[in-house]
Amino acid sequence: MSKKRVAVLISGRGSNLQALLDAEQDAYQIVLVVSNVPGAAGLDRAREAGIEALALDHKPYGKDREAFERDLDSLLVLRNIEIVALAGFMRVLTPFFVRAWAGRLVNIHPSLLPKYPGINTHARALEARDTEHGATVHLVVEEVDAGEIIGQASMPILAGDTPETLAHRLLAVEHALYPACLAKLARSL
Ligand code: GAR
C-alpha cells in the first residue's frame, strides 16, 4: 500500500510537526508544511527535513476566512495531498474547508475530549481539580474539537502542577500519540 501524502498545517513552533517527521513514516509521508503565520519556527523544521514549507498569511484576507481557505485548499489539491494534519494550527476552519476534507482532516487537542474543547485546557483541568490530563487526536468536524476520536493518551496531574508544567509535560505525550494516530488514519483510508 502506498504511503498517504500528508500536509501539516501549523501556526508556531511545530514540536508536534517535528514528532510527525521523526516518527517512522511507513503509512504516511509528509510532503508539505503550511503556516498561516510567516516566520513560524515550524517552517524551519520542515525545511531542515527537506520538505516544502510555505507561509500563507491569513492577514491580507481580513475577515474573509473562506477566501484564505480556498487558496489553502488549492495548494493542497495541486500537490495531491490525501490527509491534512493540524499541528498547533490556531485558526478555526469554516464549513467550506471542513467539508472539503471530511474524514481526511485530523487535529491534536491538548485535553481529554470531550472535556475542555477550545482554549486554556491546562488551566481548566487544574481548576476542575482533575487527577489526570491528556491529549486527543480527532477528526475535524464543523463543531470545534468535536469529531470522531482516533486516539487519546493521558498522564497524572501532580501536586504543584501549573498550566505551564502541565503543558510542558503533556507535549511529550502528544509527540508519542500523534504519529501513531496519523498512521492509524492513513492505514484506514
Ligand atoms: C500543542 O500543545 C497542541 O496540542 C496545541 O497547540 C500546541 C502546539 O504546539 N493545539 C491546540 O491547542 C489546538 N487547538 P507545537 O506547535 O509545538 O506542536
The closest-lying atom of ligand 1 relative to the alpha carbon of residue 19 is: 18
Identify the residue whose C-alpha is closest to ligand 1 atom 2.
110
In order of 34, 125, 131, 140, 178, the CA distances from 85 in angstroms are 10, 25, 29, 10, 9
d(Cα 123, Cα 109) in Å, to the nearest integer? 14
Q: Is 88 in the pocket of ligand 1 (CB under 6 A)?
A: yes
pLDDT one-digit tens code per residue, 31-49: 999 999 999 999 999 999 9
In short, whether 163's Cβ falls inside 6 Å of ligand 1 is no
- For 131-164, what is each residue's pLDDT tens digit? 999 999 999 999 999 999 999 999 999 999 999 9
**What grid cell was written down for 21?**
517527521
Structure confidence at residue 133 (pLDDT): 98
pLDDT at 47: 98
Give the DSSP H or E segment for 153: strand 149-156
Q: How many angstroms is it from 11 CA to the middle of ligand 1? A: 9
Residue in 16, 122, 136 to alter for ligand 1 test, most ligand atoms within 8 A of Cβ = 16
Residue 1: pLDDT above 80?
Answer: no
CA of 167 from ligand 1 middle (Å) equals 9
pTM above 0.85?
yes
C-beta of 136 in contact with ligand 1 (< 6 A): no
**What CATH number has the domain spanning 4-188?**
3.40.50.170
Cα–Cα distance measured from residue 171 to residue 166, given in angstroms and rounded to the nearest whole number: 9
Is residue 43 within 8 Å of residue 33, measured between CB atoms? Answer: yes
134 pocket-lining for ligand 1 (C-beta < 6 Å):
no
Residue ranges covered by each domain of the chain: 4-188
Q: Is 164 exposed, middle or buried (0-12, 13-18, 19+ CB in 10 A)?
A: exposed
Q: What is the pLDDT of residues 60-104, one digit of tens each?
A: 999 999 999 999 999 999 999 999 999 999 998 999 999 999 999
Nearest residue (by CA) to ligand 1, atom 10, is 88
pLDDT tens digits, 13-23: 999 999 999 99
